[in-house]
Amino acid sequence: MKELHADDIVGSWMSDGWRFRLDIERSGDVYVGTLAEGLENGEQDAANPDPSLRTRPLLGSRLFDGLRFDNGAWHGGRLYNPETGKSYAMRLTLSGSDMLAMRAYIGVPALGMTQHWQRLGYRPDLDATVVASEAGLTPKQAWSAEQAWAWYGSKPWPVGCNFIPSNAINQLEMWQADSFDSELIRRELDMARAINFNCIRVYLHDILWRKDKNGLLSRIERFLDIAHNAGLRVIFVLFDDCWNDNPVPGRQPAPKPGVHNSGWVRSPGSSMINDTSRWAELEDYVTGITGTFRADRRIYAWDLYNEPGNSVGFLRNSTRLLARAFLWARKAHPEQPLTAGIWKSSSWFAGVNEFLATHSDIISFHDYSPPDSLGKKIEALSRYGKPMVCTEYMARTQGSTFRDILPLLRGHRVGAINWGLVAGKTQTIYPWGSRGGAPEPAVWFHDLFRSDGTPYDGDEIASIKDQTANTAAVGADPARRHSEER
């Protein structure tokens, strides 16, 4: 067995699922660990027991210090958990040179909890070329920049919101036969159109297709009619790695009071991502949905996979499924563009972002940061020469507000789709990581209206209406505009 040395833990380490990067360095005669990558939008240390530190950014914060090497392990330090604001005794051990076990405990180590971290290194499943070639994809299958701009310029500037009706806690409750509520959807989409929105982003779920594909298609048709009558085109999302794993059809749980998105479910769950023998069912879902509506002008675009690697972490098959989603959708030959959103800017994520930008017909991305950061992202993505739509933004307490962000997006001719319309069972008026039982926040995180149609902020609504007036005039590069819709 290789002899361990005190500095063997120095370097960059990735959390299980590669969601976060931890940098460990020597400081004098002790070792410290810093959260270096993995948070995108200025998330704050809201649970810190010191009120004066609750607005500091978590990114760059020190998670532990005071570790010393002795007898083959590192111990003696304190580990800070930003989710709870509590600190714990800790011990680090190495398995070989690339696996780190971090033990946090109160009292004795045997009663604690262990996290495993992998030393940062090359992963072929996060390499754009490897991901594409393994699926049989080439960049030539995507629209040319000229085709994309011609399509984008033939339509009004897309401005709107992510939509789920207030009576649904997740995608399943929205679309299942016994809880699909046409009248509620109609009332709430009328609220969107009243503030000049013309586009909405809506999540589907693979379970709904397998359980009742004809019923789902019928409800999608009804939904599209309602949206069309409200003057709204639809971006449908097919897969999603966010929030709760192991989705189950039928009656969905009640919201956990005060908790942001307590009942949202992934599509598919990690068990199905890991079971490639069942991917034929997922292919049938993708080709069935996109093929049925391939020429439907009520649909603005297909968003194939929301935030791959978020919540679930990057499983070994995550990017393989992402690539297959593009391959399967291409087989259906939809007339609408295909896309999947760029959402993470971490250095180790660069290959995935390159894949998304290269194989999307139009570039979509998420950004909940203040204007300066958003402007830099738009500048970086503009090098691909494709139209862009920001399919998630607006988190008031993060500095992403309508007053600041809408003018910026409109000025760059970037589509603007904020998160949330009507406050409801998803409880996204609460911030990410909100605690159970929290009272209604003084400043809503997302959403615009209460369920009775009352605006959260009347001045904000007036500002939105002013900024979204005459949207048809800012669709795309005027030199490339077409006079008629495709």
Encode pLDDT of 12-53 as tens digits. 999 988 889 999 999 999 999 999 998 877 788 888 999 899
Distance CA 45, CA 56 (A): 6
Q: What residue ranges in 396-451 does DSSP mark as E strands?
A: 415-419
pLDDT tens-digit map of 61-90: 999 999 999 989 999 999 999 988 999 999
Distance CA 216, CA 314 (A): 29
| Of 292, 173, 296, 295, nearest in space to 233 by CA | 296
| Of 262, 241, 389, 220, nearest in space to 313 by CA | 241
What is the DSSP secondary structure assignment for residue 340, as one 8-state letter? -
User: Residue 371: how many CA atoms within 13 Å on its side-chain side?
Assistant: 12
Find the mean pLDDT for residues 468-481.
52
pLDDT at 165 (0 to 100): 98
| Cis ω for the linkage preceding 268 (within 30 of 0) | yes
pLDDT at 470 (0 to 100): 79
For domain 6-119, say whether CATH 2.40.128.520 is its number: yes
Are 419 and 164 within 8 A, CB to CB? no
Mean predicted lDDT score pLDDT of the chain? 93
Higher-scoring residue by pLDDT: 476, 391: 391
Q: What residue ranges in 180-331 does DSSP mark as E strands?
A: 199-203, 233-240, 299-306
Size of the chain, expressed as the number of residues it contains: 486
- Domain extents for the chain? 6-119, 124-480
Q: Is the dihedral of CA 54, 56, 58, 61 positive or negative?
A: negative
Find the mean pLDDT for residues 380-385.
97
**Position 213 confidence tier, pLDDT thresholds 50, 70, 90:** very high
| Of 282, 278, 184, nearest in space to 240 by CA | 282
pLDDT tens-digit map of 120-148: 999 999 999 999 999 999 999 999 999 99
Interhelix angle 350-359/128-135, rounded to 10 degrees, is 50
pLDDT tens-digit map of 155-212: 999 999 999 999 999 999 999 999 999 999 999 999 999 999 999 999 999 999 999 9
Given a cut of 50, whether residue 227 has pLDDT beyond it is yes
Are 345 and 276 within 8 A, CB to CB? no
pLDDT at 107 (0 to 100): 79
pLDDT at 343 (0 to 100): 96
Distance CA 241, CA 16 (A): 15
Distance CA 98, CA 9 (A): 9
pLDDT at 257 (0 to 100): 97
Are 448 and 415 within 8 A, CB to CB? no
What DSSP line would sit under 71-124, residue for residue?
TTEEEEEEEEETTTTEEEEEEEEEETTTEEEEEEESSSGGGSEEEEEEE----G
pLDDT at 477 (0 to 100): 40
Given a cut of 80, whether residue 286 has pLDDT beyond it is yes
**Position 221 confidence tier, pLDDT thresholds 50, 70, 90:** very high
pLDDT at 484 (0 to 100): 31
Q: Which amino acid is at 473?
A: A
Q: Which of 27-31, 110-114, 352-356 has the lowest mean pLDDT?
A: 110-114
Find the mean pLDDT for residues 402-423.
97
Q: Work out the angle at residue 425's Cα, subtended by the Cα atoms of residues 421 and 426, and round it to the nearest 5 degrees.
A: 65
pTM: 0.92
- Give the residue carrying structure tokens 């393989």: 320
| Domain boundaries 124-480, corresponding CATH code | 3.20.20.80
Distance CA 395, CA 374 (A): 13
Are 434 and 443 within 8 A, CB to CB? no
Structure tokens at 54: 């609750």
Maximum distance among all alpha carbons in the chain?
75
| Of 387, 401, 306, 383, nearest in space to 142 by CA | 387
What distances in angstroms separate CA 458 from CA 187, 218, 399, 419, 462, one per listed residue? 19, 36, 19, 18, 6
Structure tokens at 102: 């971090």
What share of the chain in percent tops pLDDT 90?
86
pLDDT tens-digit map of 424-452: 999 999 999 888 999 999 999 999 999 99
**Position 347 confidence tier, pLDDT thresholds 50, 70, 90:** very high
Q: Compute how many other C-beta atoms are within 10 angstroms of the C-beta atom of residue 475.
A: 20
